[in-house]
Structure 1
């Protein structure tokens, strides 16, 4: 949607000359009434609920001085139009996923999910303590935005398929909904990639417009009814070992806030980030069992497929880093952090979990 259309939706007169978005957000002294557009449908209560949680926490932290109305995808703007809507100042806030906007700069993907990249715990560490927030600020400032991590799905599933996928050759000619770098990888593997918002996926899969799709994981996928449109459910989610959602704030609006309000926004985003991951972790296990009980057939991608896809991801990185100085810097930061934290987790978490799962398998085998 064009800037003029966004501004019309926000009730801004385009010919009014210079203005601050805060002029339209502030209804009375010390009270800010703001609107947030979301990339997600309200039916997906956890992921859409991230925006609602931000609004709730801000209301409490500020004693009602910050009031936010949250709009689901399609109510004001389309799911993939959030970035432009907030950048233009038509809306002060957005809840979205940075990798939807790789068309502007492929480096946006680093701040949501990179195939074969970081888990939720690792990604949060990179964003909040590993220098990534400064890179993210630099990238978003080019479009008059600032963003904060505001939700995480945890490790996702690899997706729903109408037919079994056994070898890399089975990916050729497949039409699949998959965004971000995952889509680029699948394109290189020979698939025909589409990028559809959540509300449009079921119909496309059910009618055969697409042969496969990934979304999030068992809880959300069950809500969308994807198990009714395809029988085979593949893991692991190589394309999104975690996925960080974000709060976008118009930078002019954010800079005009007093420091205590800016801090409240950062705190609210962090609260939403933690709660979303906790809710997904609590809900995905029972949802997976319900899917299996209803006839879903679980499958695991073969090592041959995963190795081929990882090779294509290396090609994507090489191509994007060539001639894109910011991408190259971000990749360097991401890779160095990834390698360090993986070595630590190999010695600690992986060793512990490997023992636990091995013991569980032995106990199950022994009856």
Structure 2
């Protein structure tokens, strides 16, 4: 029993020390990177807890560590999200919308033209969309290379005039800042809804990052797709006026989409490993009947893998139509 109690109290000291060290180093860290010097406070906390454990009792050591972690947590909560930082150029503008009946005017729709992932011509535009003219929605999955289960997910909405607009939930990076999944647990990044043209948000990923991209049509009624679209617009406007922090576990690109997908799903969308490992989120969508289920999932993936079509359509005004065309048509020579 004594050995078991020692093991449990030792584990509390270890886990508490690691958490406090990460929280102190990463919370509020911007482009300058982790605040290593702050971690020394956690080292001092561990030393104090071990001393209390050694000289007094296990309970004293655990109490010191828990009190210290509670103090660090209180300090972490003092950091507040902001919409007024020195943002990276591709995230410089936060989109917002004006809604008048069925008309939705989207401001700061991103439409960059890329020569590479680091060289582009920036552009934004304002456009009005009529929800009465909504025709479809697409669930977009972009698995990352190099990390099992990692992916980015987006949603695109199509209209009768052929236009498509994409909603992408992303980390809003500052100038010189890079994403860190670990940092995303400690109030390091704000979250934003990037709204853009498919020639930007899809083509960037398929043609310039050379990641696999899957564009799955969403199986839902016009009414559900409209509710889906308006739910994303409302959330986007909310973040424009009241910023929030990104959280790797609870508020990332896919967990936010899960809440919106409840507008089109006929079943409850479960929170499981496929939302934390979004490279498999299409399997969840398949299970719920949100995407095609007429053939096995692997065949559905092959059907909606758009990279070859995207490369053939690069730079074309009809990019959205061509990536949805049959492969042999989309790959036809450009006149």
The alignment's TM-score, normalised by the length of structure 2, stands at 0.26
Which protein is richer in helix relative to its size? 1
Which protein is richer in strand relative to its size? 2
Q: Which structure has more RCO (C-alpha within 8 Å, separation ≥ 6)?
A: 1
